[in-house]
Structure 1
Amino acid sequence: MRHKAYVPGVALLAALVVGCSADGGDDANGADGKPGGPVVSPAPPGRYLTLPAPCRAVPRPLLKDLLPGAAELPGNQQEKVFRGSAAVTYDTDRKVGCSWKADAPSATRSLAIDFERVVSYDPAVSDDDRADTVYEKKKDAAGLSSSAAPRADAAATTGTPAGGDGGGGEEKGGAADPSPSTSTGDASDGAPGSGGPEEALPSRVLDNLGDAAFLQDLPKGPGSTAQNHTVSVVFRTSNVVVTVRYAEQPALITQRPDGRELQEKAQALARKLAETLSE
């Protein structure tokens, strides 16, 4: 009798064990066993998987315009200048660059371009977002934080220069911003008379260039006797950050570079590179 009374208890215990095992299997499946659970997808990759050959990225006619001294050199020397010098890099899929330099009787012009393809190894952060972080760090280093950076079209948009002057116009609107990265020279610094070099607009955020862009204007440093002037244009398109640096060093300290011309040519090259990347 005791044996017969014990058997149902064993069967009940076995059923409970089987039931618990079945429930545990559902839990092990996690969200799969519960309709409507969150599904995490990796962030999308950037548009660009490779970079262009930097020393062939600038068309020859544009190089001749940017480096006027090269046209006066003998054929073999001219070809060497236009060939450029590739930057040393150990991963040409991630970062490449090239530089050029030409001497003329009146001044030396130099040009450098850099391409950086940014890759995010965090599945929750896209390549584009990581590249934007790289770009923003460069912009902050140029003294152009998002809250303080003047925009190239600020005066044209508001119809009033940033300084409140009734003269109107984009140039006055930008130049009125007294930021540390603004060109500080005045008309008395250059050659006398109205024929002297034009003042450059200050460092600023640029519109209609890639996904984001800025220009940094770097006239000669305080106390420097040389009238060197450098302009940098940095822009981002998808997961690639491009930097253009264009500079002039006059042969005489009494001469002053035309900062406006340097800015215009650096921007023209940057837009050409952006078009090339988009093709």
Structure 2
Amino acid sequence: MAYVPGVALLAALVAGCSAGSGADDPAADSKPGSPTVTAAPPGKYRTLPESCSAVPRATLKDLLPGTAGLPAEQQDKVYEGTANVTYDTDRKVGCRWKSDAPDASRNLSVDFERVVSYDPAVSDDDRAREVYAKKEDAAALPAPAPGGKPGGAASAPADGTPSGSPAGTASAEPSAEPSDGPTSAGPDEDLRPRLLGGLGDAAFLDDALARAGSTAQRRTVSVVFRTSNVIVTVQYTEQPALVTEVPDSRELQEKAQALARNLAETLSE
């Protein structure tokens, strides 16, 4: 019976060591009331479409009219397009097409970029907003007109500055207000580079006229839009064969916007 207290003391020491072993447990370091970091939600899109199949052949026939007169095999080659070189098809893909006709040459390109945020505190959508905003800033769109009223057609200088009027008419006050109207441009619609409404989560259109070589004039219309964490860029270029001709801004803008809206609908399916 004299050894009972010693046994009890040993048991107490063993119990104390077992209780103290929690000091090496990471969970024991957490302090009551510490904020819990919740990872931002992922973007809607986890993959991208096959870029060279994203544009229907009927649309390509309309955008590349010079291809219709070619032999069947050559037509197929043009409509197949050329895929952009990419090392991660889940992040960025693109395709381009080219058509040469007696009246003009035309080029079309479509690019898809899936934005991923590697910061758990920043969502893919928020990161995509930042990437899109940089593209919009780089386009240097005209400032909104006072009162938010759309302006008229812009002039078409030959020095390569953005323009929206094939006829070179006098410019009214520019507008970068989103346009929610139909794709077809009315006679009084401002054709200058501008924000677009009703296309994805945000969109803008750029229109640039430049000299190709020493004489020919080339017009490129770009439509860029963001939907969730994917940014799509459509570029449509026309260069007339005659040096005296200026590519029709309204026609190119209508066709580029129609294709962009079609791609946005396809992504949403």
What band does the TM-score fall into relative to the shorter chain? 0.7 to 0.9
- Indicate yes or no: 2:42 matched with 1:45: yes
Of 108, 127, 131, 2:128 maps to 131
Displacement after TM superposition at 1:226 (Å):
1.6
Displacement after TM superposition at 1:265 (Å):
0.5
Report the secondary structure of 1:246's partner residue: strand
What TM-score, normalized by structure 2, do the two folds share?
Answer: 0.76
Displacement after TM superposition at 1:224 (Å):
5.4
Residue in 1 aligned with 2:247? 257
Residue in 2 aligned with 1:91? 88
Deviations 1:43-98 (A, max 9, x none): 00001111000000001111111111111111111111101000011111110000
Displacement after TM superposition at 1:28 (Å):
6.2
Q: Is the 8 A contact 1:54 1:98 kept in 2?
A: yes
Which whole-Å CA distance do the structure 2 matches of 1:112 and 1:209 have between them? 18
Report the secondary structure of 2:210's partner residue: coil
Q: Is the 8 A contact 1:109 1:248 kept in 2?
A: yes
Q: Is the 8 A contact 2:166 2:248 kept in 1?
A: no
Q: Is the 8 A contact 1:98 1:114 kept in 2?
A: yes
- For 2:45, the aligned partner's letter is Y
Q: 1:171 to 1:264 in 2, by over 3 A?
A: farther
Residue in 1 aligned with 2:3? none
Aligned pairs, how many? 235
Which whole-Å CA distance do the structure 2 matches of 1:203 and 1:71 have between them? 31
Of 46, 57, 61, 1:60 maps to 57
- Indicate yes or no: 2:190 matched with 1:187: no
> Segments of 4+ in structure 1 off by > 6 A?
20-28
Which whole-Å CA distance do the structure 2 matches of 1:188 and 1:56 have between them? 37
Report the secondary structure of 1:49's partner residue: coil
1 or 2, which has the higher helix percentage?
Answer: 1
Which whole-Å CA distance do the structure 2 matches of 1:269 and 1:89 have between them? 23
Q: 1:222 to 1:86 in 2, by over 3 A?
A: closer
Of 118, 126, 130, 1:121 maps to 118
Q: Is the 8 A contact 2:164 2:207 kept in 1?
A: no
Q: Is the 8 A contact 1:66 1:265 kept in 2?
A: yes
Identical columns (%): 62
Structure 1: runs of 5+ lacking an equivalent: 1-13, 162-169, 190-197
Structure 2: runs of 5+ lacking an equivalent: 1-12, 170-187
Report the secondary structure of 1:187's partner residue: coil
Which whole-Å CA distance do the structure 1 matches of 2:86 and 2:125 have between them? 22
Displacement after TM superposition at 1:220 (Å):
1.6
Displacement after TM superposition at 1:225 (Å):
2.2
Report the secondary structure of 1:47's partner residue: coil
Q: 1:248 to 1:223 in 2, by over 3 A?
A: closer
Report the secondary structure of 1:228's partner residue: strand
Of 114, 139, 143, 1:142 maps to 139
Q: 1:257 to 1:230 in 2, by over 3 A?
A: same
Which whole-Å CA distance do the structure 2 matches of 1:115 and 1:210 have between them? 13
Which whole-Å CA distance do the structure 2 matches of 1:229 and 1:200 have between them? 17
Report the secondary structure of 2:247's partner residue: coil
Which whole-Å CA distance do the structure 1 matches of 2:208 and 2:139 have between them? 10
What TM-score, normalized by structure 1, do the two folds share?
Answer: 0.73
Which whole-Å CA distance do the structure 1 matches of 2:199 and 2:54 have between them? 17
Residue in 2 aligned with 1:103? 100
Alignment of 1:1-279 (within 5 A): 29=28, 34=32, 37-144=34-141, 149-150=143-144, 161=149, 170=150, 172=152, 175=154, 182-183=162-163, 187=167, 201-221=191-211, 225-279=215-269
Q: Is the 8 A contact 2:210 2:217 kept in 1?
A: yes
Report the secondary structure of 1:219's partner residue: strand
Q: Is the 8 A contact 1:175 1:182 kept in 2?
A: no
